[in-house]
C-alpha cells in the first residue's frame, strides 16, 4: 500500500455534463486504488471498465473517463468508496514498520473523511439549537408520522394516521387530474378561501408538483393520490382533505339551468358570478377519457361544519380568473350530474362558454361520517364497557364506565386466532400466493383457478376470520388463459403464468383488482409490444431488484422485476425489467427448469447439465453465474417439481422441490448473481439424511446419519475399521445421528483421493463435536502422507480442551489455537479455514472467530497417497482418536466468509436440540411436490402425505389443515398457513397477541428510556440449581458454568465490543433476577472476574443460601456486539 499524504478535501465531486463530453473528470481527494471510487451517472452506479476508466496520479488524485457519451443534462458524481475494513494484522514479534503504520493511518484518515462527507449530507440539528433535549426517535408505530412534541423538545409519533383516511382515495386517484397551468399556479388552495401549501413543501416544475418527501407527484397532468401525503404550512392536512386539495378539470357551460350540463361540463345558476347560489357538475370530468368522478364530488359536502367546504374554479391559461364559493349543504347526487348549494366568497374575471377550468376543493371541519370508537383510550387509562353501554341509545358519542383491572397479565388479540376452510371446491386451484399490500391495506391470498376456457384469479383478504366460509374479495378473469401454471407477487403486482403468456393484475388504476393491459407493468404475449419469446410460460417469479432506480408512477414506489421460465422453445428464461425491456437466456427450454427470485435476482435450473445458475434482475442472458455445480454435478437436488425463493430475515434463500427430496440454497451477497468462490451454501434433505450446510466446491460431507457415506455429489465413501458407535445427537429421540467415541480399533478414514489436494488454493473443515473431558490431544480431522513429511492439515482438540487448527506445506506453517476450552459436554461447531491468497489459517467456534495465524508464504498442499482421518489421524490410522462424538463433517476447496460461517451455525444449531426433526416427515416417499419460502426465510414443504415448515435446517411444524387426505400445496406467510388440497382450500392464522404486565410497566416507567427486550444482545434462563446446570433457554450464550455458591460464569457466542471481562469499560448492561424456589427473587450483579475473555461473572446476594441450592438465574444483556 502506497504511503501518500491525505489532503483535507471533500471526498465527493460533481460535474454537470453540458454536452456529450466523456471526460476526463478529475477528483482532488486521495485514493489508494482505482477501485476505491464510486461513479454515478445521475442516480445510477456505474461499473469500472464497463462504463468508465480511472487514471491515478502518484499522490492518489486523478480522473475518470466515461466509455460512452453522456446526455447534455447528465450529472457525473465521483465519490470516495474505500471499503471500511481492516486487512492488516500486527503480530507479536513481527515487523512494525513506519510504512505499514503510515499506510494504516492513511486508510483511517480516508475512512474519517468518507464518514464526514456522508454526515455532511445528513439531517442534523443547528449548532445553536438548545430547546431539543432528546434526539432519540420514538419506537416505530404503524401508519403514524413523526412530529415535534408540544414543548418542542423531542420527537414523538402522531396520534392519527396521516394517510389512512381513504374515503375518497379510489375516486381521487382516478379523478384528481391537473394541468400545467393549475399546477404552476396554485391548484392547492387554503381553507380561508384557498388552501396555500407552504412554498417550501410544494414546488411546481412544469407539469409536476413534488413535495419535500416526493409524496405527491404529477405525471402528464396527473396527480396520483392513492397513497399520497400532503403536508401544509399548518403541519398536516388529513388524507380526505388532501384528496380535495387537488384540481379536477371541467369545461364551462354558460347555461344557468341546473340540469345535466353535458359530459365534462359545469354550470352556474346565475350569469353574475357574485350572485351564484348553486352549481351543477357532470358526473364525468373533462380529462382524457372523461373519467367518472361522481363518488369524489359526492363527498364534498360531507362535514360536521355548517360551511361544509370551499371550492374554487380557476380558468386554464388565465389563473387570475377564478371564483371561490362555500359549500353550505350536502351534495345532491342526480346520477348523471351533481348539484352544489353554495355562497359566493370571492371572484375575478369573466367566464365564457367552453372555458376550461380546474376545480379545487377542501373540507371545512371534520368528516361527519364516523363516530368515535368505544375502544379509544386516553392517557393510558384502560376503559371497559358493557355490551349494553356500547349498543344502547342512538347518541353519536358515548362515555363508558372506567373499571379497575386486577394486577395480572391482560391478553388481547387483534385479530384472534382462526382457522377453517376458505374454498370448498379446490379441485381447480392450481396454486396460491399470499402477500401483504405495500401500503399496509391488507393481507391477501391470491388463488389461480383453471376451470374451463378461461383462467381466474381470486383475491381473498385474510386479515379476519370473515374469510372462513366467506367469499372472495375480488375475482379477475384472464381471457384466453386456457391453462394457468403459476403465480407470484411483488409490490402489490400479481403475475400469472399461462399457456398464453403472462398476466399482470393490480388495483392501482381504478381501486379495483383488474388485469393490466396498458401502462407498465402489463400483460404480455408473443403478439404484444414488447413481445415474449414464447407463450408457453411454466413458472413466474417477482422481486424488487437490487438498487433499482425506477419509480412507479402509480404508487411512487419501486417497480418490480419479473422472471419467466418457458416450457418450450430456444429461450429458457426471460426477465422483465422495470423500464419495460425484456432480456432472455438462450437455452433449450423444458418444464423442469424452474425460476425463483432471490436477493434481488433470479435463480434458475439447467436440466441438461443439472446445474443451477443465477442472473442479475436486469440481465437474463447467458452472462450468468453458476451457483451450484462442479465438474457437471449439483451439490443438492434438481428442481424436478418446483423452485421457490424469497429474501428473508435469516438471509436470502431458495428451496428446491425434487423427486429426490428437499434442497435449500443460500446465495451470498446483495444479489443472487454471486461471484467468486464460496458464493453459495446448499443443503440436501430427505427421509434418510440431512447434509447440513455445504459450501462452494464441496469435496465431501460425512457423518450425516451414516458412519461412511459421503452425502455430497463427490461420493467419497469412508472406510470404516471396526464399528464406530452411533447414537442420537440429542441423547434422546432426535433424528440426527452422531458418531463416536473413536478408538484405535474403531475409526474411519478416506483412502487416497485427489479431491483433497488443494494446491495453493483455499480449503476448509467444518464439523460438530462434543467431548466432556480431554485428556490428551485428540484429532477430529487430519491428513498427511504415511511416514510423515510433506504437507498436512488438521483440526484437533488439545489436552486442555482448546481447538487447534494447523496447516503446513511441509516446511512452512502455523497453528491457530483458541484460548477457550470446549471439553464441556456440549455440542459445538468448529470451522478451520485456510486462504491460499494470504496464507492465513483461522479457527471459528460456534460461528465466531476464536483464533488466527498469518503464515509465511506457503507452497502447495497437494499430497501423494495420503489418506484423511475422520475422528482420528490419517497419517497413522487409528492413532490419537477423538474420544467424543462428531456429526456433520465437511471438507471444501473454499474458505467461507465469517458471515457465512455465522449463518451456517445459526441454521444448524437447532439440529442438536432435544427431539429435533431434521428429516422429511413423509412415511412413504422422499419426493417433494412443492416448496414455498416466506419473508422470514421459513420453508413450506409439501409431500403427498406430509406438510411441514422448516426454519433453518430443522422441521419446526407439521401442519394438518382442512379435511384433505391428499396434499397439493402448502404456503407459509408470517406463521399463517394456507393449504391447497384435493378437496378444499384452508387457512390457519395465529392470534396477534398483546400482553401487558401492569406491575412491570409501573416499575419500568421510572427507568431511563424503559427496557426494550427486543434489543437485547444476549439472554439466559439458567437452571443452575439442577443436575448438570442446564440452560433452559438462551440467546447468544455459548456456555455457562458454576464458579461457587450463587456464582455463575457466562460466555457469549458473539462477544461484546468492549473486549474482555477484565476491561473496566465493558459496554454491556445486565438486568437479572435469581430465585432458589422459596425466596422469590434475589438481586443479581456482575463483575469482571470471569477468566474467559468473552464472558462475564454473575453474582447473587444469596449469602444465606450456604448450601448453594440456587434454582434459576435469569439475565438479559444489552450493548453492542463485535461486528455490529
3-state secondary structure of 170: helix
Query: Taking residues 635-655, what's their average pLDDT?
Result: 62
Whether the ω angle into residue 741 lies within 30 degrees of 0, i.e. cis, is: yes
Q: Identify whether 649 is part of a domain.
A: no
Rounded distance between C-alpha atoms, residue 20 and residue 461, angstroms: 52
Could you tell me if 862 and 797 are in contact, meaning their C-beta atoms sit under 8 angstroms apart? no
Q: How many helices (H) and strands (E) does the chain have?
A: 8, 77
Q: State the residue range of the domain holding 260.
A: 169-363
Residues forming beta bridges with residue 208, ordered by sequence position? 205
Query: Which pLDDT value is given to residue 805?
Result: 96
The more confident residue out of 1101 and 1093 is: 1093
Same domain, 112 and 176: no
Strand bridging mode 1084-1087 / 1095-1100 = antiparallel
pLDDT band at 1105 (very low <50, low <70, confident <90, very high): very low
Final residue in a domain of this structure, among 608, 623, 642 = 642
Residues forming beta bridges with residue 498, ordered by sequence position? 484, 501
Judge whether residue 888 has pLDDT over 90: yes
pLDDT band at 420 (very low <50, low <70, confident <90, very high): confident
Same domain, 313 and 182: yes
Query: Taking residues 380-404, what's their average pLDDT?
Result: 41
DSSP conformation letters of 3-24: -----SS-SEEEEE--SS----
Query: Which pLDDT value is given to residue 767?
Result: 98
Rounded distance between C-alpha atoms, residue 554 and residue 520, angstroms: 9
pTM value?
0.55
CATH code of residue 720: 2.60.120.200
Element (H, E) at 495: strand 493-498
Could you tell me if 60 and 2 are in contact, meaning their C-beta atoms sit under 8 angstroms apart? yes
pLDDT band at 524 (very low <50, low <70, confident <90, very high): very high
Same domain, 213 and 354: yes
Final residue in a domain of this structure, among 363, 387, 410 = 363
Query: Which pLDDT value is given to residue 1003?
Result: 34
Query: Taking residues 321-332, what's their average pLDDT?
Result: 91
- pLDDT tens-digit readout, 258-277: 999 999 999 999 999 999 99
Same domain, 251 and 319: yes
Rounded distance between C-alpha atoms, residue 661 and residue 931, angstroms: 11
Judge whether residue 826 has pLDDT over 60: yes
Whether the ω angle into residue 24 lies within 30 degrees of 0, i.e. cis, is: yes
Rounded distance between C-alpha atoms, residue 66 and residue 69, angstroms: 7
- pLDDT tens-digit readout, 607-636: 554 455 555 545 555 555 454 444 434 456
Same domain, 535 and 477: yes
DSSP conformation letters of 1021-1052: EE-TTSTT--EEEEESEEEEEE-STTEEEEEE
DSSP conformation letters of 623-677: --EEEE-BTTB-SS---SSEEEEEEETTEEEEEEE-SS-EEEEEE-SSSSS--ST
- Report residue 712 as a C-alpha cell: 455430497
Rounded distance between C-alpha atoms, residue 210 and residue 204, angstroms: 7
Same domain, 702 and 625: no
Buried b (16+ CB within 10 A) or exposed e, 861-900: bebeebbbbbbbbbbebbebbbbbbbbbbbbbbbbbeeeb
Q: How far is CA 283 from CA 249, 324, 1054, in A?
A: 12, 20, 66
Q: Identify whether 111 is part of a domain.
A: yes
Same domain, 322 and 436: no
Query: Which pLDDT value is given to residue 416?
Result: 66
Query: Which pLDDT value is given to residue 575?
Result: 84
Query: Which pLDDT value is given to residue 679?
Result: 53
Query: Which pLDDT value is given to residue 747?
Result: 95
Query: Which pLDDT value is given to residue 600?
Result: 60
Query: Taking residues 1061-1086, what's their average pLDDT?
Result: 45
Whether the ω angle into residue 295 lies within 30 degrees of 0, i.e. cis, is: no
Of 553, 571, 552, the C-alpha closest to 563 is 571
Judge whether residue 1057 has pLDDT over 50: yes
pLDDT band at 1015 (very low <50, low <70, confident <90, very high): low
Same domain, 483 and 553: yes
The more confident residue out of 239 and 252 is: 252
Element (H, E) at 53: strand 52-56
Query: Which pLDDT value is given to residue 451?
Result: 61
Rounded distance between C-alpha atoms, residue 312 and residue 346, angstroms: 9
The more confident residue out of 1015 and 588 is: 588
- pLDDT tens-digit readout, 567-610: 888 888 888 888 888 888 877 777 666 787 776 667 666 655 44
Q: What is the radius of gyration, based on Cα positions, of the chain? A: 34
Strand bridging mode 680-685 / 662-667 = antiparallel
Q: Identify whether 657 is part of a domain.
A: no
Judge whether residue 494 has pLDDT over 50: yes
Chain centre to alpha carbon of residue 1066:
32
Q: Identify whether 132 is part of a domain.
A: no
3-state secondary structure of 38: strand
Same domain, 174 and 85: no
Neighbouring residues of 384: CB distance < 8 A, sequence distance ≥ 6: 400, 401, 402, 403
- Residues of the chain above pLDDT 70, percent: 69
Query: Which pLDDT value is given to residue 749?
Result: 95
Query: Which pLDDT value is given to residue 429?
Result: 65
Q: Identify whether 76 is part of a domain.
A: yes
Q: How many CB atoms lie within 10 A of CB 801?
A: 18
The burial of 1088, by beta-carbon neighbours within 10 Å (0-12 exposed, 13-18 middle, 19 or more buried), is given as middle
Of 103, 75, 107, 125, the C-alpha closest to 11 is 107
The more confident residue out of 986 and 26 is: 26
Choose from 355-369, 570-584, 806-820 the range with maximum mean pLDDT. 806-820
Q: Give ∠ CA 211-217-221 in degrees, rounded to 5.
A: 130
Judge whether residue 964 has pLDDT over 70: no
Query: Which pLDDT value is given to residue 588?
Result: 78
Q: Identify whether 391 is part of a domain.
A: no
Judge whether residue 797 has pLDDT over 90: yes
Judge whether residue 739 has pLDDT over 90: yes
The DSSP secondary-structure symbol of 560 reads P
Could you tell me if 599 and 583 are in contact, meaning their C-beta atoms sit under 8 angstroms apart? no
Same domain, 531 and 637: yes
Query: Which pLDDT value is given to residue 161?
Result: 66
Could you tell me if 635 and 694 are in contact, meaning their C-beta atoms sit under 8 angstroms apart? yes
pLDDT band at 976 (very low <50, low <70, confident <90, very high): confident
The more confident residue out of 98 and 7 is: 7
Judge whether residue 397 has pLDDT over 60: no
Query: Taking residues 74-92, what's their average pLDDT?
Result: 82
The more confident residue out of 926 and 973 is: 926
Per 3-state DSSP, what percentage of the chain is helix, strand, and coil (rounded to 5)? 5, 40, 55
Q: Identify whether 101 is part of a domain.
A: yes
- Report residue 623 as a C-alpha cell: 452472462
Number of domains the chain contains: 5
pLDDT band at 1035 (very low <50, low <70, confident <90, very high): confident
Query: Taking residues 797-817, what's their average pLDDT?
Result: 93
Query: Taking residues 236-256, what's their average pLDDT?
Result: 61
Same domain, 903 and 1041: no
Same domain, 577 and 443: yes
The more confident residue out of 282 and 247 is: 282
- pLDDT tens-digit readout, 130-152: 777 777 888 888 878 888 887 88
3-state secondary structure of 117: helix
pLDDT band at 479 (very low <50, low <70, confident <90, very high): confident
Query: Which pLDDT value is given to residue 794?
Result: 95
CATH code of residue 574: 2.120.10
Element (H, E) at 567: none
Q: Identify whether 31 is part of a domain.
A: yes
Across the chain, mean pLDDT equals 74
pLDDT band at 243 (very low <50, low <70, confident <90, very high): very low
- Residues of the chain above pLDDT 90, percent: 27
Chain centre to alpha carbon of residue 733:
35
Query: Taking residues 200-222, what's their average pLDDT?
Result: 29
Final residue in a domain of this structure, among 120, 137, 159 = 120
Query: Which pLDDT value is given to residue 195?
Result: 29
- pLDDT tens-digit readout, 856-866: 899 999 987 78
The more confident residue out of 154 and 674 is: 154
Query: Taking residues 286-315, what's their average pLDDT?
Result: 85
Judge whether residue 1114 has pLDDT over 60: yes
Amino acid at each position: 500500500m502506497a504511503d501518500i499524504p491525505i489532503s483535507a478535501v471533500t471526498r465527493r465531486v460533481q460535474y454537470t455534463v453540458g454536452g456529450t463530453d466523456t471526460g476526463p473528470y478529475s477528483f482532488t481527494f486521495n485514493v489508494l486504488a482505482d477501485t476505491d471510487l464510486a461513479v454515478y451517472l445521475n442516480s445510477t452506479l456505474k461499473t469500472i471498465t464497463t462504463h468508465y476508466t480511472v487514471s491515478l496520479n502518484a499522490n492518489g488524485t486523478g480522473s475518470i473517463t466515461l466509455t460512452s457519451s453522456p446526455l447534455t443534462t447528465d450529472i457525473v458524481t465521483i465519490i470516495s468508496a474505500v471499503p471500511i475494513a481492516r486487512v492488516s494484522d500486527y503480530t507479536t514479534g513481527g515487523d512494525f514498520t513506519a510504512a505499514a503504520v503510515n499506510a494504516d493511518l492513511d486508510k483511517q484518515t480516508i475512512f474519517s473523511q468518507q464518514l464526514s462527507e456522508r454526515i455532511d449530507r445528513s439531517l442534523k440539528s443547528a449548532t445553536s439549537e438548545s430547546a431539543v433535549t432528546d434526539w432519540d426517535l420514538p419506537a416505530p408505530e404503524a401508519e403514524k408520522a413523526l412530529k415535534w412534541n408540544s414543548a418542542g423538545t423531542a420527537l414523538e409519533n402522531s396520534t392519527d394516521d396521516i394517510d389512512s383516511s381513504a374515503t375518497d382515495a379510489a375516486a381521487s386517484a382516478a379523478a384528481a387530474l391537473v394541468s400545467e397551468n393549475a399546477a404552476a399556479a396554485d391548484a392547492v388552495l387554503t381553507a380561508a378561501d384557498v388552501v396555500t401549501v407552504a412554498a417550501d413543501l410544494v414546488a411546481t416544475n412544469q407539469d409536476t408538483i413534488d413535495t419535500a418527501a416526493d409524496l405527491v407527484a404529477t405525471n402528464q397532468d396527473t396527480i396520483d393520490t392513492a397513497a399520497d401525503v400532503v403536508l401544509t404550512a399548518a403541519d398536516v392536512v388529513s388524507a380526505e382533505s388532501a384528496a380535495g386539495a387537488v384540481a379536477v378539470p371541467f369545461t364551462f357551460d354558460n347555461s344557468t339551468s341546473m340540469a345535466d350540463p353535458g359530459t365534462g361540463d359545469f354550470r352556474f345558476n346565475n350569469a353574475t358570478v357574485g350572485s351564484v347560489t348553486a352549481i351543477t357538475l357532470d358526473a364525468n370530468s373533462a380529462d382524457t377519457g372523461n373519467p367518472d368522478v361522481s363518488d369524489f364530488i359526492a363527498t364534498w359536502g360531507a362535514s360536521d361544519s355548517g360551511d361544509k367546504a370551499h371550492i374554487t374554479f380557476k380558468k386554464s391559461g388565465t389563473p387570475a380568473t377564478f371564483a371561490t364559493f362555500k359549500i353550505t349543504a350536502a351534495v345532491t347526487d342526480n346520477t348523471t350530474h351533481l348539484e352544489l348549494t353554495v355562497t359566493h366568497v370571492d371572484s375575478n374575471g369573466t367566464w365564457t362558454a367552453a372555458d376550461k377550468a380546474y376545480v379545487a376543493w377542501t373540507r371545512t371541519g371534520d368528516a361527519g361520517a364516523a363516530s368515535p370508537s368505544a375502544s379509544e383510550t386516553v392517557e393510558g387509562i384502560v376503559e371497559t364497557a358493557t355490551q349494553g353501554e356500547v349498543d344502547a341509545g342512538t347518541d353519536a358519542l358515548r362515555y363508558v364506565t372506567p373499571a379497575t383491572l386486577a394486577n395480572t397479565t391482560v391478553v388481547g388479540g387483534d385479530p384472534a386466532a382462526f382457522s377453517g376452510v376458505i374454498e370448498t371446491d379446490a379441485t381447480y386451484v392450481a396454486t396460491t400466493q399470499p402477500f401483504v399490500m405495500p401500503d399496509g391495506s391488507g393481507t391477501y391470498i391470491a388463488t389461480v383457478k383453471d376451470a374451463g376456457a378461461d383462467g381466474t384469479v381470486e383475491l381473498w383478504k385474510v386479515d379476519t376470520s370473515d374469510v372462513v366460509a366467506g367469499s372472495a374479495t375480488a375475482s379477475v378473469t384472464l381471457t384466453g388463459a386456457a391453462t394457468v401454471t403459476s403465480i407470484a407477487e411483488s409490490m402489490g403486482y400479481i403475475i400469472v403464468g399461462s399457456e398464453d403468456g403472462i398476466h399482470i393484475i393490480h388495483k392501482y388504476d381504478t381501486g379495483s383488482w383488474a388485469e393490466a393491459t396498458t401502462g407498465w407493468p402489463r400483460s404480455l404475449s408473443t403478439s404484444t409490444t414488447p413481445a415474449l419469446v414464447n407463450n408457453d410460460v411454466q413458472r413466474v417469479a417477482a422481486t424488487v431488484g437490487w438498487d433499482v432506480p425506477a419509480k412507479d408512477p402509480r404508487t411512487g414506489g419501486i417497480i418490480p422485476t419479473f422472471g419467466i421460465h418457458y416450457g418450450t422453445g430456444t429461450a429458457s428464461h426471460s426477465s422483465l425489467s422495470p423500464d419495460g425491456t425484456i432480456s432472455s437466456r438462450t437455452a433449450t427450454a423444458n418444464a423442469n427448469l424452474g425460476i425463483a427470485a432471490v436477493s434481488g435476482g433470479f435463480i434458475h435450473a439447467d436440466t441438461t447439465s443439472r446445474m443451477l445458475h443465477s442472473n442479475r434482475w436486469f440481465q437474463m442472458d447467458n452472462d450468468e453465474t453458476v451457483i451450484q455445480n462442479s465438474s457437471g454435478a449439483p451439490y443438492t437436488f434438481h428442481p424436478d417439481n418446483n423452485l421457490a425463493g424469497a429474501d428473508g430475515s435469516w438471509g436470502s434463500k431458495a428451496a428446491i422441490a425434487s423427486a429426490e427430496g428437499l434442497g435449500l440454497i443460500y446465495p451470498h451477497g446483495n444479489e443472487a448473481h454471486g461471484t467468486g468462490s464460496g458464493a453459495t451454501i446448499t443443503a440436501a434433505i430427505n427421509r434418510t439424511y440431512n447434509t447440513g450446510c455445504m459450501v462452494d466446491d464441496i469435496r465431501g460431507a460425512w457423518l450425516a446419519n451414516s458412519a461412511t457415506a459421503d452425502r455430497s455429489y463427490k461420493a467419497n465413501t469412508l472406510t470404516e475399521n471396526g464399528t464406530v458407535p452411533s447414537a442420537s445427537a440429542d441423547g434422546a429421540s432426535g433424528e440426527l445421528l452422531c458418531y463416536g467415541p473413536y478408538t484405535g480399533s474403531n475409526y474411519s478414514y478416506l483412502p487416497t483421493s485427489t479431491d483433497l489436494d488443494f494446491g495453493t488454493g483455499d480449503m476448509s473443515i467444518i464439523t460438530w463435536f462434543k467431548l466432556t473431558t480431554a485428556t490428551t490431544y485428540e484429532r477430529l480431522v487430519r491428513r498427511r502422507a504415511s511416514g510423515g513429511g510433506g504437507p498436512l492439515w488438521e483440526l484437533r482438540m488439545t489436552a486442555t480442551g482448546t481447538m487447534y487448527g494447523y496447516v503446513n506445506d511441509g516446511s512452512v506453517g502455523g497453528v491457530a489455537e483458541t484460548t477457550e476450552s470446549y471439553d464441556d459436554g456440549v455440542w459445538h461447531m468448529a470451522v478451520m479455514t485456510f486462504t491460499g491468497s494470504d496464507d492465513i489459517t483461522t479457527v471459528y467456534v460456534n460461528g465466531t472467530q476464536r483464533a488466527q495465524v498469518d503464515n509465511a508464504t506457503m507452497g502447495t498442499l497437494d499430497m501423494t497417497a495420503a489418506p484423511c482421518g475422520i475422528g482420528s489421524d490419517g497419517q497413522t490410522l487409528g492413532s490419537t482418536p477423538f474420544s467424543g462424538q462428531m456429526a456433520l463433517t465437511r471438507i471444501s476447496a473454499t474458505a467461507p466468509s465469517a458471515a457465512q460461517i455465522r449463518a451456517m451455525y445459526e441454521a444448524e444449531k437447532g439440529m442438536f436440540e432435544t427431539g429435533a426433526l431434521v428429516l422429511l416427515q413423509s412415511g412413504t416417499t422422499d419426493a417433494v411436490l412443492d416448496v414455498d419460502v416466506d419473508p422470514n426465510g421459513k420453508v413450506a414443504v409439501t409431500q403427498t402425505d406430509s406438510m411441514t415448515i422448516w426454519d433453518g435446517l430443522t422441521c419446526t411444524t407439521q401442519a394438518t389443515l382442512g379435511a384433505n387426505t391428499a396434499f397439493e400445496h402448502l404456503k407459509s406467510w408470517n406463521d399463517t398457513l394456507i393449504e391447497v388440497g384435493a378437496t378444499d382450500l384452508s387457512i390457519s392464522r395465529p392470534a396477534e397477541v398483546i400482553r401487558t404486565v401492569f406491575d412491570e410497566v409501573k416499575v419500568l416507567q421510572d427507568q431511563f428510556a424503559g427496557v426494550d427486550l427486543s434489543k437485547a444482545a444476549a439472554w439466559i434462563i439458567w437452571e443452575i440449581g439442577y443436575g448438570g446446570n442446564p440452560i433452559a433457554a438462551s440467546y447468544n450464550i455459548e456456555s455457562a458454568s458454576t464458579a461457587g455458591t450463587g456464582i455463575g460464569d457466562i460466555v457469549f457466542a458473539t462477544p461484546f465490543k468492549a473486549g474482555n471481562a477484565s476491561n473496566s469499560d465493558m459496554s454491556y448492561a445486565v438486568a437479572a433476577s435469581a430465585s432458589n424456589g422459596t425466596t422469590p427473587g434475589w438481586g443479581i450483579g456482575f463483575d469482571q472476574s470471569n477468566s474467559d475473555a468473552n464472558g462475564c461473572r454473575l453474582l447473587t446476594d444469596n449469602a444465606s443460601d450456604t448450601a448453594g441450592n440456587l434454582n434459576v438465574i435469569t439475565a438479559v444483556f444489552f450493548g453492542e456486539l463485535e461486528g455490529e
